[in-house]
Structure 1
Amino acid sequence: MVPIWLLVACIGAQAEPVLQGKDAYGSWQADKPGVVRLIRPEDLAKPGASRSVSNSARVTARGEMTPQVPQGFKIELLVDSLSDPRVLRVAPNGDIFVAETRPGRIRVLRLGEGAKVATNEIFASGLNRPFGVAFFPNGDDPQWVYVANANSVVRFRYRVGDLKASAKAETVVASLPAGSGHSTRDIVFTPDGKRMLVSVGSASNVGEGMGSPPGGLEAWSKAQPVGASWGYEAERAAVLTFDPEGKDRKLYATGIRNCVGLAIQPQTGQPWCSTNERDGLGDDLVPDYVTSVKEGAFYGWPWFYIGNNEDPRHPGARPDLKDKVTVPDVLVQPHSASLGMTFYQGTQFPSEYQGDAFAAEHGSWNRSKRTGYKVIRIRMKDGKPTGEYEDFVTGFVVNDTQVWGRPVGIAVAKDGALLISEDTGGTIWRVTSVPK
């Protein structure tokens, strides 16, 4: 017999129609848990269809406000008063590692009875804008905690249960491209443990001032991966690959403006990116996206977007790349600022969530009607994305000018709860399903 709470959850998931095309575009007032959206490449607006607007939000105190979740779920405040909590990673024993980026440290939270924080310790400090955290090797007995700084990758000796690093950091990659914009660097290991992937965002919005490649475009292109950039953007807007010791450095994929969140899909072993696309082309361009990342693929930046759509700021610059652009799997409303992501493998949520992805939408300055500021569910069917995404956690916006929270990190706790960090209020939230 199917439990009543599961029937309620299933009915709730089907209650909302799928919003498509222009109807899929909205603003914070229309966001609510359960709204499902589908944006396809053929739905894109034309460049300049609306003007580009600077509309930064003012951060205000949360007060008594609490995020909203779908029927059949509840959300609770796990911890507050953190400083710029961003990426969340869960150790094999359930400890929650938190990258506090601005203070330059990694914090460890350990839960006690009633899923309350019983231990709160600083694991390591003195880091350079740390963001990505990964345990290596994969499995129940990792020996290292890797941390991706803005300009390097370091690692700490680790035994499961350690609350403080037992020794100084060991440098694995001494120099990642750094400076200018997009300082976040995420990090994951492939399931076989042979490769370390590191995401590096662009130094600019759309490759301004890159100039010409050395030796001319034709000669340079023959010796490079498809879509590789040059000059100060070399090895940026890309996912890099190394071995676990930081050797065998290569470009894994290119043309991804800012792959903020990296995750490995458990069913396929394929890396995925949660990506910030470019600004300045109006309210409804260019869609952010969440996508699988194919080795050797080129995703368009800065010359093209979402397939062979040419950026008007680079007319005729790279006609050789027009038919080589990989279209992302799931398009998200432009200027949502998609950050951290994870795949759900827990058993606490209803079974239809198994294998789905979740992504945190931080919100952007570049839209007249504010969007983002929520957590979305990326729907999968038999391990493949449907293209649809669902508003899952909303309620971080106060009004047209004020917000109290901006989601960043997202992880699945050992007990199957979904954990969400937001960096303006310094809080982490815990979402669970509840019987009806």
Structure 2
Amino acid sequence: MKVTFLKTLALSSLVSGAAWAQSSAAELKEEARSIFLTSCAASCHNKAVSPRLTDASGDVDFNAVKLNAARIIARVQDASMPPRRAPASQQITAAQRETLLQYVKSLQTDTPDNAGLPLASLRLASGFNIEVFAKAEGARSLAVHPEGIVFVGTGGFSNVDPNGRVHAIVPTSSGRKVIALAWNLDNPNGVALQGNDLYVAEQTRVIRFKDAVGWVKANVGKNLGKTSAPFTTVYSGLPDQPTHSWKYLGFGPDGKLYLNIGAPCNICLPDRDTYATIMRMNADGSNLETVARGVRNTVGFTWHPETREMWFTDNGRDQLGDNLPPDELNRLTADGQDFGYPYCHAKTISDPTYGKNQDCRSDAFTKPEVELGAHVAALGLTFYQGSMFPAAYQNAVFIAEHGSWNSSRKNGYRLSVVQFKQDAEGKTVATYQPFIAGWLNDANQTNWGRPVDVKNYVDGSLLLSDDQTGAIYRVTYTTP
């Protein structure tokens, strides 16, 4: 009888304890929901800023919270969170910080393979595979060294790495290691290599890390804290504009360093001729000059491996509806070409405000080679140059589409490909189609990733960055 009573008492205690634990977890989640809605989502991470932490109904998207757990923890621990521009009503207390940390950390206990990312939901053509190559918070622009070291810029639309780092992924005998080359930079989005030197574009300046390759190889695996590699300023005084302020960098076949200066608005007539341009300078920062005008906002350019002409993406303006205007894939054939902004968009679309007295069909404005999807936010691009993929992909243009932010139905969130073929009359015809899709669930309009830049890797694969998850993916091909 006594044993039965003790068993009953123990069982009762277990049930009571389990119920208490479930209640406590539920209460913690509700407290976290309230904080997210009044602070994080209200000030930034709604439909306008990546990573988006709310769903279509405006409630907290807890799947998005889990996927971005590491970034959220780092942001909550940052003393400047929420951003100083947030109103007082959206600031959080020390107790609320602890609640968020406790809840978000509880989501990290069951991380599966592939860094916890649902790669199985991605759709690829037969024979192609995708895996997580490495993770680096806020991964955006990529620069690949012949030794296989990959430098990773951060920043962009929402400053996705609040620590302002530039990362390096270094192959070692015990696997790939990630090291921070620099800390506390101002949106260090653009990265470009010249030999072993790394050039980095912040919002208003370009800096140079001499022998960055040697530095990361010597320091990988060390506990450096927040020590940055030494650097010098190459060029300062780039415009500190309110929008489209992040820069992309690339060395052209001429040895010059190219960068973009976006339009300081959605649509306007810029008040200085350096806005809405692509520019270039010598590697030492001298002789800055404009090479293309009328470019609203390019965050990706490259050079054709045979013709050596520059090709670049351009993001179309907003607020003309879901279907207008298309983003663009452009080709620069001569210095000084004008690509239409703010008067004309895509091939023949006249802007309702600034294009009334312009002939958008005229040769005064250079037309895009390919009209891409509207609002897909086409960013980084590369001509495939490896030997791993089938021959049909040689010199094809792969384009990372970051995804729309203000369309009623989301668009983009994929890696697309443009291939060029000869038709029956010998004319070159371009085909444009998705190559990898699935970061966006079209049915419920939620996304778990946002592609940013794509580069050829030394083994013939492609690398693709994703600033929402911090993943750098490796795309390979195996004969089916």
Seq. identity, %: 33
Is 1:192 aligned with 2:254?
Answer: yes
In structure 1, how many angstroms separate the alpha carbons of the residues matched to 2:265 and 2:357? 17
Is 1:204 aligned with 2:265?
Answer: yes
CA shift, 1:386, in A, is 3.1
The equivalent position to 2:474 in structure 1, one of 427, 430, 436, is: 430
What SS does structure 1 have at the residue aligned with 2:392? Answer: helix
Q: Which amino acid aligns with 1:206?
A: I
**Which residue in the other structure is 1:391 paired with?**
434
Cα distance, 1:64–1:118 mapped onto 2, change above 3 Å: closer
**Which residue in the other structure is 1:46 paired with?**
none
Q: Deviations over 1:341-364 (max 9, x none)?
A: 112111111222111111100111
Q: Provide the aligned length of Structure 1 versus Structure 2.
A: 351
In structure 2, how many angstroms separate the alpha carbons of the residues matched to 1:393 and 1:117? 26
In the alignment, is the contact (CA less than 8 A) between 2:327 and 2:346 conserved in 1? no
Larger Rg, first or second structure (1 or 2) = 2
In proportion to residue count, which structure has more helix? 2
CA shift, 1:320, in A, is 10
In structure 2, how many angstroms separate the alpha carbons of the residues matched to 1:388 and 1:241? 31
The gaps in structure 1 that reach 5 residues or longer are: 1-53, 137-141, 211-229
Q: Which amino acid aligns with 1:99?
A: G
Matches within 5 A, 1:24-423: 58=54, 60=64, 61-62=66-67, 65-66=118-119, 67-80=122-135, 82-101=136-155, 102=161, 103-112=163-172, 117-136=175-194, 142-158=195-211, 160-163=213-216, 168-193=230-255, 195-207=256-268, 210=269, 230-231=270-271, 233-294=272-333, 295-316=335-356, 318=358, 323-381=363-421, 386-398=429-441, 399-423=443-467
In the alignment, is the contact (CA less than 8 A) between 2:245 and 2:262 conserved in 1? yes
In structure 1, how many angstroms separate the alpha carbons of the residues matched to 2:453 and 2:281? 24
In structure 1, how many angstroms separate the alpha carbons of the residues matched to 2:381 and 2:215? 25
Q: Which amino acid aligns with 2:329?
A: V
Q: Normalised by the size of structure 1, how large is the TM-score?
A: 0.75
Q: Which amino acid aligns with 1:205?
A: N
Q: Which amino acid aligns with 2:343?
A: W
**Which residue in the other structure is 2:90 paired with?**
none
In the alignment, is the contact (CA less than 8 A) between 2:381 and 2:455 conserved in 1? yes
What SS does structure 1 have at the residue aligned with 2:353? Answer: coil
Q: Normalised by the size of structure 2, how large is the TM-score?
A: 0.68
In the alignment, is the contact (CA less than 8 A) between 1:99 and 1:107 conserved in 2? yes
In the alignment, is the contact (CA less than 8 A) between 1:341 and 1:358 conserved in 2? yes
In structure 2, how many angstroms separate the alpha carbons of the residues matched to 1:402 and 1:413? 30
Cα distance, 1:321–1:126 mapped onto 2, change above 3 Å: farther
In structure 1, how many angstroms separate the alpha carbons of the residues matched to 2:117 and 2:249? 35
Q: Which amino acid aligns with 1:183?
A: S
Cα distance, 1:319–1:432 mapped onto 2, change above 3 Å: closer
| Backbone CA RMSD of aligned residues | 2.5
CA shift, 1:410, in A, is 1.1
Q: Which moved more, 1:120-129 or 1:334-343?
A: 120-129
**Which residue in the other structure is 2:106 paired with?**
none
Cα distance, 1:380–1:177 mapped onto 2, change above 3 Å: farther
In structure 2, how many angstroms separate the alpha carbons of the residues matched to 1:133 and 1:328? 26
Q: Which moved more, 1:397-406 or 1:250-259?
A: 397-406
